[in-house]
Structure 1
Amino acid sequence: MSIPFHARCNSVPSMQHPQAAYVHEQLTRLRSSEAASSSSSSSIYQRLSNLQDLHDSLDKMLRLSLTNKALTQVQVEKLLDGSLRILDLCNVAKDALPHMKEGLKEIQSILRRKRGDLSAEVKKYLATRKFLKKSFQKVLKNLKVSENKESSDKSLVVFGEAEAVTVGVFESMFSFMSGSKACGKWSLVSKLMNQNKAACKAEVNEFTRVDLEFQSEKSLKIEDVQNLDSCIQDLEDGIESLSKPLIKYRVSLLNIL
């Protein structure tokens, strides 16, 4: 991915400009929320919402004549590359979430009606989860590689920091959807100690909790399935809403180019 820029930008509006100052405030808010909040569906949804505001502000900043005239073609192309990578991350999430949601709806229907082949649907869902988790891990690995790349361009501090913060939110989201590795499989000792198992399950997120219940099928709770379905819906809504300002931002870059 790109690009943690550390130098102050000389070619675009300084932090004294109201729009640039507002972007800086939003970046600070996002960094603080990432440091303070736990990895929960509500915290990730809130950060996705904050990203919408950030990219709306970046788009307005791009429309300023001062910014528009100052950016070189090379700089605009660099920002276009970053915006395309982020849209690609949006698309990965957009493709993955409906697959899981569809499987959960079938399972909920069987649990409510108490008719149908629950075991078969659970196996289908777990197979989908296994495939998607590999995809998420691949995305996370690529993000780690990209984070280690340095950029020689020191003139785009605000835009570069916004890209880095945005990528960080997506990294948290894909890690969240991948589930907890620590509790993914219990050791023999943990299986023999119900208290440890209960403590482990209390710490995991919605995705991992349902994965564990589906693997055993004995402790399956429709409430947990419904909670996960609601969590997926929130993430879908957040991604869909974020994609709109991301596209507007990219269109503004293309207009400059």
Structure 2
Amino acid sequence: MSISFHARSNSVPSMQHPQAAYVDEQLARLRSSEAASSSSIYQRLSNLQDLHDSLDKMIRLSITNKALSQYQIEKLLDGSLRILDLCNMAKDALSQMKEGLKEIQSILRRKRGDLFAEVRKYLATRKVLKKSFQKVLKNLKVSQNKENCNKFLVVFGEAEAITIALFESMFSFMSGSKACRKWSLVSKLMSQNKATCEDEANEFTRLDSVFESEKLLKIEDVQMLEWCIQDLEDGIESLSKSLIKYRVSLLNIF
């Protein structure tokens, strides 16, 4: 999957529009959060939403309109569409898992129904999804295009690269190859329950282990992952809306 422009630390000129300077600050914050072990995926999703809202405003500037060629606009539209596709893949996977968790919670609450069958069904879904996550991750090897570009426009390419990197982290997290991070709502609830997050696992793999071990299952075990999923769904939905606005602004330039 390729992007249109290089990512550079000095992504915009020193003499720049205030909106471009603000976008550059947001990119610097996101680059920093990528390297921070305490930075949650949910928080990075929120920051990406803010970034794409800012890019949308930047697109509407007359200086940006004049700087963008039709070819570059088409490249940016292609990139935003790829990211929207990733949003939809993630939302679909999360929806499938949440549906299975709700069935399991229903049986635990009513204390009737075939819990074992629902757990096996959930684990089968997880197995299929893990394979699809690995396939997506394999395809998310972003290659930088070495074409020359106005420095003013480099921010768009860097924003795309950072967004795709976030989805790499997210799919790795959901597949179980990334450790748990601090979540907004979940971390508070975990603190209230005096629970801790194990370094070697995350919410997805922890519940997988509980299901596979056939230990006594508690409804709290299932709720913890459901809250994580809800956080992710909310973040992805907000990012999707920002991306759609951004695409509309690009199309309006035509």
Report the aligned-residue RMSD.
2.3
- Which is richer in helix? 1
Q: Any runs of at least 4 consecutive aligned residues in structure 1 with deviations exceeding 4 A, and if so which?
A: 6-10
Does residue 59 of structure 1 match 2:56? yes
Percent identity between the aligned chains?
A: 80
Name the residue aligned to 2:187: none
Which of 75, 78, 89 lines up with 2:75 in the alignment?
Answer: 78
The answer (yes or no) to whether the contact 2:11–2:24 under 8 Å persists in 1 is no
How far, CA to CA, are the matches of 1:120 and 1:130 in structure 2? Answer: 15
How far, CA to CA, are the matches of 2:38 and 2:175 in structure 1? Answer: 16
Which of 102, 120, 123 lines up with 2:120 in the alignment?
Answer: 123
In structure 2, do the counterparts of structure 1 residues 15 and 217 end up closer, same or farther at CA, with 3 Å as the change threshold? Answer: farther
TM-score (norm 1): 0.84
Deviation at 1:202, TM superposition (A): 5.4
Alignment of 1:84-123 (within 5 A): 84-123=81-120
Q: Residue by residue, what CA displacement relative to the aligned partner does 1:94-121 show, whole Å, maximum 9, x if unpaired?
A: 1111110010011111122221101100
Deviation at 1:15, TM superposition (A): 5.8
Deviation at 1:122, TM superposition (A): 0.4
Name the residue aligned to 2:29: 29
SS in 2 for 1:203: coil
Q: Residue by residue, what CA displacement relative to the aligned partner does 1:193-246 show, whole Å, maximum 9, x if unpaired?
A: xxxxxxx96520000000111111115332221100011011111111111110
Name the residue aligned to 2:248: 251
Name the residue aligned to 2:147: 152
Name the residue aligned to 2:192: none
How far, CA to CA, are the matches of 2:47 and 2:15 in structure 1? Answer: 20
Does residue 223 of structure 1 match 2:224? no
How far, CA to CA, are the matches of 1:69 and 1:34 in structure 2? Answer: 32
How far, CA to CA, are the matches of 2:41 and 2:101 in structure 1? Answer: 21
How far, CA to CA, are the matches of 2:29 and 2:160 in structure 1? Answer: 15
Does residue 167 of structure 1 match 2:168? no
Deviates more, 1:79-88 or 1:218-227: 218-227
Name the residue aligned to 1:185: none
